[in-house]
Amino acid sequence: MAGSEQGPRVSRIILREQMFPSPAYDTIFEGFLKPVLNALSTLIMAASGECDPRQATFKAMTLMGQVVIFRVARETIVRGLDLEGYSPEELEEIRRVLVANALAITATPSE
């Protein structure tokens, strides 16, 4: 999402629909966001032993948020970290942080 050419366009649509849902949001949610959320929740339950689907969904949303922030707050991230603007090396650094966070989130089930 951060490094793709289509990322900015798709992100603008999703962000606009998040802030001001139109009838199109049903299509976006059901056709894209919900399947991704369900797949992530299922993976989290399998990887972590989480037994509570609601907690797995919270964790999935947290992971999704960590990815989305690199698109919707791109300027803050680029300026705050003094990045070039998501070079291949910077994208690899982002990937490493996201993977580490995903491993931490899936390390143990919630209490």
Residue type, 103: L
The tens-digit pLDDT sequence of the chain (111 residues) is 555 677 677 778 888 888 899 999 999 999 989 999 999 999 999 998 899 999 999 999 999 999 888 888 889 999 999 999 889 999 999 999 999 999 998 886 655
> Residue 111 domain-assigned?
no
For residue 110, what pLDDT is reported? Answer: 55
> Residue 55 domain-assigned?
yes
For residue 20, what pLDDT is reported? Answer: 93
For residue 109, what pLDDT is reported? Answer: 60
CATH classification at residue 96: 1.10.357.10
For residue 52, what pLDDT is reported? Answer: 94
Total domains in the chain come to 1
For residue 4, what pLDDT is reported? Answer: 65
**Matching residue, tokens 């949610």:** 29
Report CA-CA distances (Å) from 33 to 25, 75, 102.
10, 24, 18
For residue 101, what pLDDT is reported? Answer: 92
Check: CB of residue 30 under 8 Å from CB of residue 2. Answer: no
Which DSSP category does 107 fall into? S
Check: CB of residue 18 under 8 Å from CB of residue 107. Answer: no
Residue 88 sits in which domain range?
7-105
> Residue 28 domain-assigned?
yes
Check: CB of residue 40 under 8 Å from CB of residue 60. Answer: yes
For residue 8, what pLDDT is reported? Answer: 72
